[in-house]
Amino acid sequence: MLRFLNQCSRGRGAWLLLALTAFALEMVALWFQHVMLLKPCVLCIYERSALFGVMGAGIVGAIAPQSPLRYAGILIWIYSAWRGVQLAWEHTMIQLHPSPFQTCDFAARFPSWLPLDKWLPQVFVASGDCAERQWSFLTLEMPQWLVGIFVVFLVIGLLVLIAQPFKPKKRDLFGR
Considering 48, 70, 83, 133, which one is annotated as catalytic?
48
Instruction: Yes or no: say if 39 and 134 are a contact pair by the CB < 8 Å rule.
Output: yes
**H or E element that contains 140:** strand 140-141
Say whether 34 sits in a helix, a strand or coil: helix
Q: What angle do CA 141, 144, 148 make, to 5 degrees?
A: 140
Q: What single DSSP character describes residue 174? A: T
**8 is an active site residue:** no
Q: Where are the alpha helices (DSSP H) in the chain?
A: 2-9, 12-34, 42-63, 69-96, 116-119, 121-124, 142-163
Considering 8, 130, 171, 176, which one is annotated as catalytic?
130
Considering 10, 12, 41, 133, which one is annotated as catalytic?
41
Considering 104, 133, 171, 176, which one is annotated as catalytic?
104
Residue 153's Cβ-side half-sphere holds a number of Cα atoms within 13 Å equal to 36
Considering 3, 10, 12, 44, which one is annotated as catalytic?
44
Q: How far apart are CA 117 and CA 123, in angstroms?
A: 7
Which residues does the annotation mark as catalytic?
A: 41, 44, 48, 104, 130
